[in-house]
Amino acid sequence: MGDKGLSFLFSGLHFNRKKFADDFARFKEKNENEDIPETSTIVETVKVEPEDKLAAGKKRKRKEKGSAERVESFSVFKKSEPARVVEDEEKEEDIGLQEKKEYHRRIERDALSRKKYGIHISGHNVPSPLQSFDDLSSRYGCKSYLLRNIAELGFKEPTPIQRQAIPALLSGRECFACAPTGSGKTLAFLFPILMKLKPGSKEGIRAVILCPTRELATQTTRECKKLAKGKKFYIKLMTKDLAKNGDFGSMHIDILVSTPLRLQFAIRKRKLDLSRVEYLVLDESDKLFELGFVKQIDSIVKACSNPSIIRSLFSATLPESVEELARTIMHDAVRIIVGRK
């Protein structure tokens, strides 16, 4: 480092080299030994440059932006961050609060509606009952052909069991429904099946409806066909002949209606495959038990091995045996009782 450099920094100062000869020599020696570029030495010695540089940098920035803006933006930046967090939290709280309010309003509305129609439920998070058949399109995107068919059949309003069982099944919940004879249970389980299944699929049987008697099975098949009018659903009634001689491997069936004995026979003797069944309905389950079909039902439930199957039990009365079965075969079921148990 030359003397020029030093004298530039300390210009205006008189430096007595004689008086400080020793210090000067040591200072010079140190610099020469370290072999560090001049500027670094100055930085090291003066030890103010980093701050100065920072200040200079800041000044440069300040100049570019203008001081008023800088102060403002700085203070805005400093204050706005925490403020935004608070705002966000408040917003979230607001949304949370609104959701909670909406949730409680819905609970109240549902409770009033259920009271009005004599619907009693148990199970967690039970979907709202239908206010009208129109809810099916607004809430569940029901196809217009189904609503048209219902209108053609002269059904204007859903019956109480339909109001609660249809949304439960459409929400993918297993369902255990008890309502008096003639209260429209058939439509309550057929409607969600027709809404959810793709018609004319070649995947095999995807819905099984078990009825305690041949007459009831025939009646249910007829009703199902009426409701499905306009869509190419393969809806089959398990007749005696079909159970004995049916070539189920080459047959298209979407929905199968049967009595337990015939169905069990077809499973055993005709290798009927029920592994793709998505909906299994035990209609008039109280009668199914009265007639002693426990063993057959058991093997049918086993044959319907699809893990995502939705099982439902519909019944006019609720004996302990039916409740017991419901508990053993259902998961997270919604229990619906219309009127008195």
Ligand X SMILES: Nc1ncnc2c1ncn2[C@@H]1O[C@H](COP(=O)(O)OP(=O)(O)OP(=O)(O)O)[C@@H](O)[C@H]1O
Closest to 48 measured CA to CA, from 22, 17, 9, 15: 9
Contacts of 321 (CB under 8 A, 6+ apart): 289
d(CA 82, CA 182): 64
Q: Does 183 bind ligand X (CB under 6 A)?
A: yes
- Which C-beta is closer to ligand X: that of 31 or that of 315? 315
- In the bound state with ligand X, the residue whose beta carbon lies nearer, of 18 and 156, is 156
Binding mask 187-226 for ligand X (x = CB under 6 A): x---------------------------------------
Alpha helices in the chain (DSSP H): 3-9, 21-34, 38-46, 49-65, 67-117, 135-140, 144-152, 160-170, 185-196, 214-227, 240-245, 260-269, 285-290, 294-303, 320-329
DSSP 174: -
Name the segment binding ligand X (CB under 6 A); options: 22-30, 66-74, 184-192, 232-240: 184-192
The token duo for 272 is 């009927």
Please pick, from the candidates 31, 149, 159, 296, the single residue that binds ligand X as defined by CB under 6 A.
159
Contact between 163 and ligand X by CB under 6 A: the answer reads: no
Helix (H/G/I), strand (E/B), else coil: 208: strand
Site string for ligand X, 290-329 (x = CB under 6 A): --------------------------x-------------
Minimum CB distance to ligand X smaller for 21 or for 151? 151
Q: How far is the CB of 220 from ligand X (least distance, A)?
A: 8
Q: How far is CA 100 from CA 97, 108, 113, 121, 236, in A?
A: 5, 12, 20, 22, 47
Of residues 114, 163, 173, 185, which one binds ligand X by CB under 6 A?
185
Does 158 bind ligand X (CB under 6 A)? Our answer is yes
* Closest to ligand X by CB, 6 or 119: 119
The Cα 135–Cα 308 span in angstroms is 26
Q: Could you say whether residue 164 binds ligand X (CB under 6 A)?
A: no
Looking at the DSSP bridge assignments, the partners of residue 177 are 314, 336
| Binding letters toward ligand X, positions 91-130, x by CB under 6 A | ----------------------------------------
**Segment interacting with ligand X (CB under 6 A) among 23-31, 101-109, 138-146, 157-165:** 157-165
CA-to-CA dists, residue 298 to 264, 282, 332, angstroms:
10, 12, 20
Among 127, 129, 167, 184, binds ligand X (CB under 6 A): 184
Spatial CA neighbour of 46 closest among 55, 54, 38, 58: 38
How near is the Cβ of 309 to ligand X at its closest, in Å? Answer: 22
Q: Which stretch binds ligand X (CB under 6 A): 12-20, 76-84, 113-121, 153-161?
A: 153-161
Q: Check residue 239 and report its DSSP letter.
A: -
CB 301 within 8 Å of CB 341: no
d(CA 127, CA 28): 89
Return the structure tokens found at 21: 């000869």
CB of 141 to ligand X, least distance (A): 20
Interface residue list for ligand X (CB under 6 A): 155, 158-159, 162, 179, 181-187, 284, 316
